[in-house]
Amino acid sequence: MQEELLPSEIEQVESLILSLYEPASPSTISKTQSTLSRLQSSPQAWSLAHHLLGRPDEKVKFFGALTIIVKLNTENSSLSDSDAVELLVSLLGWYIGALQHKTGLLVVRKLASALATYFIYFHRLCTRYIFHLLVSLASNRAWQPGTIDESVDFNAISESLTGVHLHAAILVMSNILEDVTRIDLNAASNVGLYDSVIANTSDSVTLIAMCMSRDDVSPEVKQDALRCLQVGDPVPFEFSKSREANWIPFSRGFHLLRRHQHETATLQILYGPLLEALSTH
């Protein structure tokens, strides 16, 4: 049986997406989901995602961000370096725009996940990824890799970073850590990714310490920041104003590192320097 032609107009695609949130028969829902899945697998999906992320409806934006993630995971090799750089600039622009317009958290989180997925596949194009993200957030501008003066001190940009910016950066970093723990960093094919994680260690530590020391960062966001150290750690973490209380989950994390070293290489890198950074606040 020949498949139906895919919709070619953005308005048609938007209508399909929105129809999923309306009452319909199971067969209709299944057919719509199948069509949208085929769209995500199509060559025009890259362009489609760009258009969807420019639409006002948050459900449509969410699907656009999801499509970017799907394409990165399945067809990242189809992008040239110049295409990949352009995609990063677009992702940063959408992320900054979502924060400025107070877009719903579901869209923000999905864009954070897309930025993390981008790092997994194109980390070589932006060595100091976390720093690049923070500078872009602080300046409300999506910078191209290689165009930022990397000698800029964090103190010079920290005043321009609001609590919202810091939370947005933490969301990206936590997604990166979660993604990395599912990858065997000891494999020869992942040496570049491992090196990139190491290259971002210092900036990641500074970001977490910045969150912990700022009064305009909520306790919930501070919890999110410290949870970056607990990816793969099933022990609940409760934030406490007492610095001493924080050592307990850290020590448990070290125990887990010894048990699951290949899964938590990133945490191994981060723990030591972060403890030193936190001890100054």
- Which segment of 50-54, 154-158, 186-190, 265-269 scores lowest on mean pLDDT? 265-269
Give the DSSP letter of residue 7: P
Q: Which residue has the higher pLDDT, 242 or 154?
A: 154
**pLDDT at residue 241 in the model:** 38
Average pLDDT over the chain reads: 84
Asked whether the beta carbons of 71 and 109 are under 8 A apart, the reply is no
Which of 204, 218, 104, 113 is CA-nearest to residue 163? 218
Which of 134, 151, 149 is CA-nearest to residue 209? 134
Which of 119, 106, 256 is CA-nearest to residue 174? 119
Helices 129-139 and 163-180 meet at what angle, rounded to 10? Answer: 160
**pLDDT at residue 192 in the model:** 92
Residue 144: count of CB within 10 angstroms of its CB: 15
Mean pLDDT, residues 206-213: 90
**pLDDT at residue 102 in the model:** 97
Mean pLDDT, residues 192-198: 90
**The two three-digit tokens of residue 15, written as one number:** 């209508």
Q: What is the pTM of this model?
A: 0.83
**The two three-digit tokens of residue 236, written as one number:** 């609940």
Which of 171, 95, 104 is CA-nearest to residue 136? 95
- Model confidence at 276, in pLDDT bands (50, 70, 90)? low
Q: Which amino acid is at 239?
A: F
Measured at the CA of 78, the angle between CA 73 and CA 83, to 5 degrees, comes to 100
**pLDDT at residue 228 in the model:** 84
Whether pLDDT at 257 is above 60:
no
The SS3 call for residue 252 is helix
**pLDDT at residue 226 in the model:** 87
Q: Which residue has the tokens 């695609």?
A: 13
- Model confidence at 242, in pLDDT bands (50, 70, 90)? very low
**pLDDT at residue 2 in the model:** 57
Which of 249, 225, 226 is CA-nearest to residue 236? 249
The strand ranges marked E within 88-214 are none
Please state, in angstroms and rounded to a whole number, the distance separating the CA atoms of residues 123 and 128.
Answer: 9
Whether pLDDT at 122 is above 70:
yes
Q: Which residue has the tokens 């872009």?
A: 136
Please state, in angstroms and rounded to a whole number, the distance separating the CA atoms of residues 193 and 206.
Answer: 20
- Model confidence at 274, in pLDDT bands (50, 70, 90)? low
